Chain A
Amino acid sequence: MRQFLALPSLIYLTILFYIPFLIVILYSFGFPGFTLKYYSEILDPIYIKVFINSLTLASITTLLCFLLAYPVSYYIALKAGKWKNFLLILVILPFWISFLLRTYAIMALLTPLGLMFTYTAIVIGMVYDYLPFMILPLYASLERLSRSQIEASYVLGAKPYQTFLKVTLPLSKPGIVAGIILVFIPALGEFVVPAMLGGTYATIGTITWDLFLRYHNWWKGSALSVVYMAIVLVAILLYIKRVGRIEL
């Protein structure tokens, strides 16, 4: 009987989330008609390049975030001692600042440096915005590592770098996977950073924006979104297969 309390929320989300979703799919097939032409347009070489741009950008972002985040997470989780809480606060604070503001901040810094509207600028902006999303999951899983596991490794004769490779890194895998998902998937569809910092650089996000808000081509835009969503779903399914379920 208590279950009915969830009904208002479920109804609301059905109307304003799930149904719009279906509408996108309908439009991608040319609603009110039916055609596959928009999908074939999306699979045009020009758009393939856009997909590749986005995938590359997302991958570079994820990789750089990982390389920068891991030492930070490791340090805070295992070596920070009394600074731990303070550093943690410093890491969490950017989460409370919107993407837009953070991107503006990077923009403000890059402008006098003359780096605006270059690919480098986009990458720097992406890493800047997404770094906290990689630090926290890594920190969470490194935190769970008990010091005694590392000490056991030393006692068994492993040197520090061996311990790291054979014990720490594998045990932090759940955090690594979570971080990759939290960065890669949204980065794939990122719109604000390439638009603000890259000028005319084409990614899934910026093209979607153009198609919808500039050219009012709902159908092609929907087709593009559906393909993007398909990629996201595949990524999520891979995650579930690896880790078992979605943990927030």
Chain B
Amino acid sequence: MMRFIVLLVFLFLYIPIAYVVASSFIDGGEITAKWYVKLFEDKVIVGAFYNSLSIALLSTFSSVSLGTIAAYAFLRGSQRFESLLYTPIVIPEITEALSLLLFYKMLSFPLGFYSVLLGHIAFNIAFVFVIVKARLSTQLRTLEEASLTLGADEIQTFLRVTIPLALPGIVAASLIAFTLSWDNFVKTVFTTGPGFQTLPLLIWSQAARGVVSPSLSALTTLMLMISFLLAYLYAKISTRRE
């Protein structure tokens, strides 16, 4: 009986996705990849793709740099200011989004690429901080001390001990930060300006009117594939660490 419910739930979770993927290959009555071809020819879509990619890469790089050294700073035990770095995760996204919009308005900051980027970096820092901190060995300080007593100075210790041990956490956090930025909708839509589109915004502009189309399904399928790829990479990193 329980197995039946479990099966139903999994079917529920995956049938819509399967449907989208399937319908993206169908035109009229035949199976075709023409929708995908059209995607690559559509300048607007390609533009949005590059926008999404640049924002994701830049926000990942910035947030991972800032968040990692912050995690390193808070390594031994909790200190008072630590929860200040967690808060962006707990606050609902829409509240963060509109607060940024007001902030930009007050400063007359132009809305577009940079306004979106700065917002992405803000919430990514929090996630990077949490992930890197969780994966940094609590032994790290002692290991660094051992390195110092063996004759390595601070820089050598950083390169030979700290970085190698922090790397798995940094890579994991990078994947997550990239995904969050790449997929982000709510914050982006509030902080974007005229003419600046990312892929999620593009999908929204069509789907919001209740439009379900094969080309949109194709775009969605591509995005899904990218998500699965990122998930796969993350799993690979996690298991390699043991």
Contacts and interface: CB of A to CB of B under 8 A. Distances in A.
Please say whether the chains A and B touch (CB closer than 8 A): yes
Given A8-B69, A12-B66, A101-B220, A96 B210 contact: no
Q: Chain A contact residues (Cβ within 8 angstroms of B): what range?
A: 35 or more
Contact of B5 (A72, A189, A225): A72
B23 to A, nearest CB: 7
B146 interface: no
Interface stretch (A18-26, A44-52, A141-149, A168-176): A18-26
A72 B70 contact: no
Interface in A164-210: 185-186, 188-189, 191-192, 195-196, 199, 205, 208-209
Interface stretch (B29-37, B88-96, B164-172): B88-96
Interface in A52-99: 68-69, 71-72, 74-76, 79, 87, 89-94, 96-99
Given A100-B204, A131-B13, A212-B190, A4 B73 contact: yes
A136 B11 CA distance: 17
A195 B185 CA distance: 13
A71 B70 contact: no
Contact of B88 (A13, A104, A192): A13
B227 A97 contact: yes
Contacts of B228: 93, 96
A74 B87 CA distance: 31
Contacts of B106: 23
Interface residues of B, number: 81
A2 interface: yes
Contacts of A213: 189-190
Contact of A8 (B66, B100, B190, B234): B66
A29 interface: no
Interface in B56-75: 66-67, 69-70, 72-75
A244 to B, nearest CB: 14
A90 B122 contact: no
Contact of B126 (A13, A218, A225): A13
Contact of B183 (A20, A75, A98, A186): A98
A105 interface: yes
Nearest to A228: B95
The prevalent SS among residues of A at the interface is helix
A72 to B, nearest CB: 5
Interface in B37-70: 66-67, 69-70
A24 B99 contact: yes
B105 interface: yes
Nearest to B206: A104
Contact of A20 (B17, B103, B184): B103
A71 B227 contact: no
A106 B20 CA distance: 9
Given A16-B118, A75-B6, A107-B207, A225 B73 contact: no
Contacts of B75: 2
Given A131-B13, A213-B190, A27 B102 contact: yes
B125 A109 contact: no
B224 interface: yes
Given A9-B125, A104-B203, A105-B16, A17 B86 contact: no
A108 interface: yes
B73 A3 contact: yes
A9 B220 contact: no
A214 B106 CA distance: 18
Contacts of A212: 98, 101, 190
Given A27-B102, A212-B98, A94 B220 contact: no
Given A27-B102, A96-B231, A104 B216 contact: yes
Interface of B: 2-3, 5-6, 9-10, 12-17, 19-20, 23, 66-67, 69-70, 72-75, 79, 81, 83-96, 98-103, 105-106, 118-119, 121-123, 125-126, 129-130, 179, 183-186, 189-190, 200, 203-204, 207-208, 210, 212, 216-217, 220, 223-224, 227-228, 230-231, 234-235
5 tightest CB-CB pairs across the interface, nearest first? A98-B183, A20-B99, A105-B16, A20-B103, A5-B73
21 contacts: A3-B74, A5-B70, A6-B69, A6-B74, A9-B69, A9-B70, A9-B129, A12-B66, A23-B102, A90-B14, A98-B184, A103-B207, A108-B20, A108-B23, A132-B13, A189-B92, A208-B94, A213-B190, A221-B98, A229-B91, A232-B92
